[in-house]
Amino acid sequence: MLTNLFREAGRPLLMPYAVGGYPDSESCFHILRSYLKGGADLIEIGIPFSDPLADGPVIQGASVVALRNGIRPAGVLDLAARAAGEGAWVVLLSYLNTILAFGSARFFDRCRESGVLGVVVPDVPVEEAGELQSAARERGVDVILLAAPTSTDARLARIAAAASGFIYCVSTMGVTGARAALRTDLPEFVGRIRKHTDLPLAVGFGVSTAEQADEVAGYADGVIIGSALVDVIARNESLDASLAEIQGLLHRVRSMPSFSR
């Protein structure tokens, strides 16, 4: 399903990210709706976690707020179901311990029931992903594997052979967060992965402006924008102001040449 979504689009997909339940559950639902209104093709919702090793200060801070406000994995799955009911295509981001605590079979059952197409699990390397992938695959859900710029060609081949749905290409080493500039060797990195797979390749970590998104969309199949959008919510004093700024940014991205080809 996920792979077909990319292939049928005929252009790169815009993939905004939200921290599930931030700043609160109902506001988060309005943010997800604003993503759709802004032209999102596929929405990624993160399940807040107490020790998010891959996330920078913006997403960490949002996760702390959401957890303090009582959001739990079941609540994020409910948000995903509401977004899917609005017509959104949804993937989740979840750390492994969250899935194990929920129970893998039960978690992926809920994903299927909620309309979730895939789950990005950033702390599971390809060598340890098999059991999780099997449980998800039985329920029609993809476990999305990540690839990093430092990966050798042999490792990229191993990731590509095991992957399904799409491959999440990490644009830079380190944690999530807006970057003033992207790596100059990012096109080469994406090209290295393409030698091993025909799966869609989506780039995330650091993409924060319409111009950067346009650049990445020139060689990738999907562009993930996360921290820049979460920061909009943190900076604004009102939800309405956040929604207006979010939709403005997403509309600018969708108007860029690489997204209209």
pLDDT tier for residue 178 given thresholds of 50, 70 and 90: very low
pLDDT of residue 261: 60
Structure-token pair, residue 12: 């790169």
Query: pTM score, two decimals?
Result: 0.94
Say which CATH superfamily domain 2-253 falls into: Aldolase class I (3.20.20.70)
- Of 189, 117, 138, residue with least CA distance to 159: 189
What percent of the chain lies above the pLDDT cut of 90? 86
Whether 237 shows a pLDDT value over 70: the answer reads yes
Q: Quote the Cα angle for 34-253-86, to 5°.
A: 25
- Of 90, 147, 144, residue with least CA distance to 121: 144
| pLDDT per position as a tens digit, 202-217 | 999 889 899 999 999 9
pLDDT tier for residue 54 given thresholds of 50, 70 and 90: low
Residues known to be catalytic: 44, 55
Whether 177 shows a pLDDT value over 80: the answer reads no
pLDDT tier for residue 1 given thresholds of 50, 70 and 90: confident
